[in-house]
Chain A
């Protein structure tokens, strides 16, 4: 077997916004390698559309205090308030820094960064929507990702593209390195390191209908979980209200920020009933539930399972300048011009609030008491700081990636001198090779596609916007069966070269693990909060559930522990908009 060993001070997994931002910071202190299973600019961050939040106050009065409050309330009070405060105050210098790096933000007439309205972002503690989202038309992720990747190139960050991570090696409570497969030729590469920053993104592909890319399968979370690292708040998964019907392709919340409205089959602007103050700009969990409630009660368009997003009244010039990309999507995929026809939309799986627990500097927690794994960091969607709590506000995800990517990179820099170089043992490499070869050569009757399809549709049916004990229990039974079927997996591609069938099989194993964690986490939380809505427990229950869920894999089973929410500034209140 062809094995190459590399050494870098820091290894970053993932080349999206969080990974690139972390790399830019940590390369100030030592050598950095970024591993990505795609070519870096293909990372899913590039698909982010509407904006990145910061209270710059360029278009109207705003301040980070309001941003903090909105984020706390948006999180349904599950977000840790000290972390949220850091994010909202760091937002301003971080966005300015991005601009200096070359991000082509859209501009105000006097040349400042332009800002627009977004869901749940308000002035004066909920009084009315505020212009807080900085944007580059509706290609904000693309604009930021390219600038960050370009800065990485300028600063000498080394990229290993199309490398699939197989293992993140932790021994003696210290990260030792990463084992990866070079997709191009099947060779095994070992990256020994002082520090590893996991920035591997989300896992929307667990669900049948998603805005997420094919690459978002979440294997790095599962790799850590299987080694005893907990996963936090996995029951909270965001469904974006406006996915293109039948496809799940995202239509940015910015469309509503620019004045778009949701309309049901009776022609009613139904959000007025659900959120009288900010209406269509209510947070995503509420809008998604509202849309599906309308559909369930027979008020979909012509009785079908979608509603309309109406942009027809918006000035054509604004559509062209600020929402060109979604206009093109509508034309290409639906054959409609949004300036003339309303857009059929339905909620689509979009964002994971839960993930690898970290402190405010990206250090990965191994328990609820705050103890950490030496040298191991996480940032971005794969991590849970937690700034999003039970529901993330729009344009806070890009912000999270750059604020906490930067902080993780800095934190690594501060310890590099005192930390020892990792060592990956031969036996560990062999286990990974054996595992790959077992999948390659297994002779069963099951295919990746059949198991994956079943998993994705079950997750969609039983673990999406509305959940019940009965449904979740059925789902867990189904996952158990799928795990058995996975053992009977066979693949037809045996080659070493660009074997995507093999990689999909590896990913599927991890998807099954993560799905089980999500379903179990959702089953044990007997309340409704943010994106987690239990029809059998429709109320928020602060007395029993104002706490973070930590799921652990133990020898027996998956077990839960809890961590209190850090409340520093804002008292609990009923969440009304």
Chain B
């Protein structure tokens, strides 16, 4: 079943004046199509200058996070039939916009780098795999599904106020390694995340959970991190 939708899109054209404007496009989409299909249709048939990121188109690569009807989501995972006839689209909030719906993710990814985002284990590796029991792995199962789309961190009011704040995505990454039974850098990593702009800044606003396209209960992970940090003697920031 096809019907018309109006996509109202916040444009940012860095080499045009005015820099910012809202454009409306009327397009026909069927009930299986997603916001990303709508954007592609507009780019292909109405305005070739409309710019957005895309790649896998089924919610695994994290390229197309944007604000759709007031909420950060992946355009490829948002079916138009679940939205109103008027679809309002903006870039992810609180990051510098490069063009239209493309934001500069540098700041977002740099936060990740601060939590030592790799398995650290200097013990000589065994001949075969390091054993990890299913119940040990279960602790990190949810955290490893993160696609780093940026929806969570850019929806966090703490991040809006403090651009140095690690934010939910980087804290989740820290969790992923701190609770991996094979990792040996507990102190080092806790040191890295418990500074002034780290773990203790989270006030459990829960915005991150609301927007996560992989439905990760990020706040729960951060709370567990807090308890763990206290237990290990890393208090207050």
Contacts and interface: CB of A to CB of B under 8 A. Distances in A.
A38 interface: yes
Closest 5 CB pairs of A and B: A102-B119, A111-B131, A449-B44, A150-B118, A492-B48
B140 A104 contact: yes
Interface in A479-529: 491-493, 495-501
Contact of A44 (B56, B129, B130, B148): B56
A327 B11 CA distance: 35
Interface of B: 13-15, 32, 43-45, 47-49, 51-52, 54-63, 77, 79, 98-99, 102, 104-105, 109, 113, 117-119, 121, 125, 127-134, 136-137, 140-141, 144-145, 147-148, 177, 180, 182-183
29 contacts: A39-B105, A41-B61, A41-B147, A42-B63, A46-B147, A96-B127, A96-B128, A99-B129, A102-B180, A104-B137, A104-B180, A105-B129, A106-B137, A107-B137, A110-B131, A111-B133, A112-B128, A136-B144, A142-B60, A142-B144, A151-B118, A153-B117, A215-B55, A246-B32, A249-B57, A449-B45, A492-B47, A497-B14, A500-B52
Classify chain A: how many residues form its interface, as a range. 35 or more
B55 A213 contact: yes
A428 interface: no
| Chain B interface, DSSP helix/strand/loop, else mixed | loop
Nearest to A142: B60
B55 A153 contact: no
A139 interface: yes
A249 B128 CA distance: 35
B130 A492 contact: no
A576 to B, nearest CB: 35
A381 to B, nearest CB: 15
A106 B136 CA distance: 11
A47 B32 contact: no
A525 B134 CA distance: 49
B119 A150 contact: yes
A329 B118 contact: no
Interface string A218-254: 0000000000000000000000000000110100000
Contacts of A325: 60
A63 to B, nearest CB: 15
B129 A493 contact: no
Interface string A14-53: 0000000000000000000000001101111011000000
Nearest to A141: B60
A107 to B, nearest CB: 5
B32 A333 contact: yes
Given A495-B14, A501-B43, A47 B58 contact: yes
B48 A447 contact: yes
Interface in A37-91: 38-39, 41-44, 46-47
Interface of A: 38-39, 41-44, 46-47, 96, 99-102, 104-113, 136-137, 139, 142-143, 146-147, 150-151, 153-154, 184, 213-215, 246-247, 249, 325, 328-329, 332-333, 447-449, 491-493, 495-501
Contact of A107 (B15, B56, B119, B134): B134
A213 B56 contact: yes
B145 A139 contact: yes
A107 B132 contact: yes
Nearest to B125: A100
A52 to B, nearest CB: 13
B133 A107 contact: yes
A146 B148 CA distance: 10
Contacts of B180: 102, 104
A249 B60 CA distance: 11
A44 B55 contact: yes
B215 to A, nearest CB: 8
B79 A38 contact: no
A492 B128 contact: no
A41 B62 contact: yes
A129 B77 CA distance: 35
Given A112-B129, A497-B98, A447 B63 contact: no
A43 B60 CA distance: 10
A107 B140 CA distance: 13
Contacts of A106: 137
A46 B61 contact: yes
Contacts of A151: 118
Contacts of B132: 107, 111
A154 B111 CA distance: 15
A565 to B, nearest CB: 34
B98 A498 contact: yes
Given A102-B177, A154-B118, 15 more contacts: A38-B61, A41-B61, A47-B56, A100-B121, A100-B125, A107-B137, A108-B134, A147-B118, A151-B118, A153-B113, A184-B104, A329-B58, A496-B15, A497-B99, A498-B98
